[in-house]
Amino acid sequence: MKSQKRTLLASYLLSTVSRIQILEVSFIREIRIMVVSHIKLSSSSVEEISNQQIDILINAVDDAFGGVIVEMKEPMNSNVFDTLLRVSISCWREQGKKGIWLKLPIELANLVEAAVKQGFWYHHAEPTYLMLAYWIPETAHTLPANASHTVGIGAFIMNKKREILVVQENNGRFKGSGLWKLPTGTVDVGEDIVEAAIREVKEETGIKVEFMELLAVRQSHNVSFGKSNLFFVFMLRPLSFDIQKQDSEIAAAKWMPFEEYAAQSYMQKNEHFNYIAKICAAKIDNDYTGFCALPATAVSSRRRKSCLYFNNHGGVVVPNTI
């Protein structure tokens, strides 16, 4: 009796699995037929699509926040993509996924319109790709915004004669103004801010420098295309003194007595410039202590390089500061 029951149960399970498999195959076949029939192409293109394996879901990997990341790499007809994306979103919704990150390389720009029509929005763009985003739940999305700030640096460099390295710019707001200012520049993606300061000084003036202290940080809003800006002022030690200016960016460069630099009328009128000059003056007179840098490795699977800036004036004993 028990043997008969086990046989009947096994037969029932096998028949159930077979029915599920038939339904699966039927569903996949219907989706594939829908994909191909949805495309209004030449007969040669239809034949090409019919002869290749069409996956019903777009390849994706899970992110750490309950969403998925889609990175398109192969060329695809926009109508095929439209259908596959629609089916994929439906599947991800059933799986309880939240955000969708869709990365489209520049050579697949033909897929942007299909994604936008399904509710994706632009998140950010880089020279080689566009990142779009989508939120599945019917709630306000919690996806992080694009980078809110650009990052710039200014370099305070003084020789033993109490002269500081200053430049006049060939471009930008100060072109032709006669203003002598600190060498400045922007930080590249993935670049350390200290390395950026050292690089910018070398590019603009030919002077080799090394890090001493971080003196100040200025935050400004709505600086470039609605983005805010963080501007780091560093004190750097000169390792060379022969100026070789960058002709494309710099109209003039020289060593100027600090008092002459600080006495310029623009320095007196502009609040931020004036404060920075006063901080530099206090540093010269040993009345101000900036921030040292403590290199570290972030605790993560990627072992990302990081740096902690802090004021060590209070006697905090930390090794390996730079």
Is 169 among the catalytic positions? no
Per the residue annotation, which of 71, 203, 210, 260 is the catalytic one?
Answer: 203
Alpha-carbon span 75 to 109, nearest angstrom: 10
Helix/strand/coil for 164: strand
CA distances 150 to 26, 127, 133, 228, Å, are: 52, 16, 22, 6
Q: Which two tokens stand for residue 71?
A: 């990175």
- Residues 132, 104: contact at Cβ < 8 Å? yes
Contacts of residues 183-190 at CB distance under 8 Å and 24 or more positions apart, as own/partner, are 183/154, 183/155, 183/157, 183/253, 184/152, 184/153, 184/154, 184/155, 184/231, 185/152, 185/153, 186/150, 186/151, 186/152, 186/153, 187/151, 187/152, 187/153
Amino acid at 137: P
Q: What residues act catalytically?
A: 203
